[in-house]
Amino acid sequence: MQVFINGSFYDQADAKISVFDHGLLYGDGIFEGIRLYQRCIFRLDEHLERLECSAKALMLKLPWSRAEIASAACEACRINGLVDGYIRMIVTRGCGTLGLNPNTCSDPQLIIIADKISLYPEQYYEQGLKLITAPTRRVNPAALPPMVKSLNYLNSILAKMEAVNLGYMEAVMLNDQGYIAECTGDNLFILRQGELLTPPISSGNLRGITRSAVFDIAEELGVPVREVDLTRYDVWTADECFLTGTAAEVIPVTELDARPVGEGNPGPVTARFIAAFRDRVVREGTMIE
């Protein structure tokens, strides 16, 4: 595999940055996860816009234009011979001295990894995921805005470990008010009485690109969608539930905290959203050729 770093490609074993990079030392950087379907990058422009917004929020100046980053992403897919895959785009603050001061850093690093990914085994898309609620709470939005997709994922990693150690693939994370924020890396939707509900960004969840696509699909399917504070009780008593994310795509949920969601099987409306999402990923993609 060839990895892009600042304008050049390197063999996987030779793809390196400095140990003094503040992205490594302090998690000072941002990233995007992007999907490639049939040589088409799904919603590339939206991902790049979110990358730019994350950089601006962190006062991290990007020395590359959006067109240059897009071109590098396409080339990374081509040089690795990908038809379907996953693009991890990383920007670090760059090399600096020990200490938190970002003004000691120079030369931000742009790293693009284009490879394959399978977040959940295929059986879970057919049978649904079983979730638990993690004891670890989501970081308060006032401390770190959830719109910033930063390199610091320790909050989610702790919750993921809590789930995995108990035999679960994923966990729901609550905010400090007890409302659902999201899962460790996916947005959450429930269906109740014909209406699609999802937590607002103010609850502490990421403004997901796949989440946005689901809003568009809901309009196409004539399913009302609304952002509203949700509790665990709302999921326990929902008719259906599913998660969304770049790596996860759209995946059904059949249980939370040992309580079946709906009938305990993936619901028919969820199936419609999965089918509609898979239908549009190429239509809304940017060809890498």
Question: Per residue in 211-267, pLDDT tens?
Answer: 999 999 999 999 999 999 999 999 999 999 999 999 999 999 999 999 999 999 999
Residue 87, domain extent: 2-115
Contact present, 86 and 35 (Cβ < 8 Å): yes
Q: Would you tell me the crossing angle of helices 268-283 and 209-221 to the nearest 10 degrees? A: 110
Q: What is the pTM of this model?
A: 0.95
Tokens of 175: 């905010």
Q: Does residue 136 belong to any structural domain of this protein?
A: yes
Q: Does residue 288 belong to any structural domain of this protein?
A: no
CATH of the domain at 96: 3.30.470.10
Residues 101 and 133 in one domain: no
What burial class does residue 263 get, using C-beta atoms within 10 Å of its C-beta: 0-12 exposed, 13-18 middle, 19+ buried?
Answer: exposed
Residues 77 and 9 in one domain: yes
At residue 49 the predicted structure's pLDDT band, cuts being 50, 70 and 90, is: very high
Tokens of 64: 């590359």
Residues 73 and 193 in one domain: no
Residues 91 and 209 in one domain: no
Catalytic residue of the set 61, 130, 149, 160? 149
In the annotation, is 61 catalytic? no
Instruction: For residue 287, give the H/E element and its range.
Output: strand 285-287
pLDDT at 119: 83
Q: Round the average pLDDT of the chain to a whole number and report it.
A: 96
Q: Which residues contact 263 (CB under 8 A, 6 or more apart)?
A: none
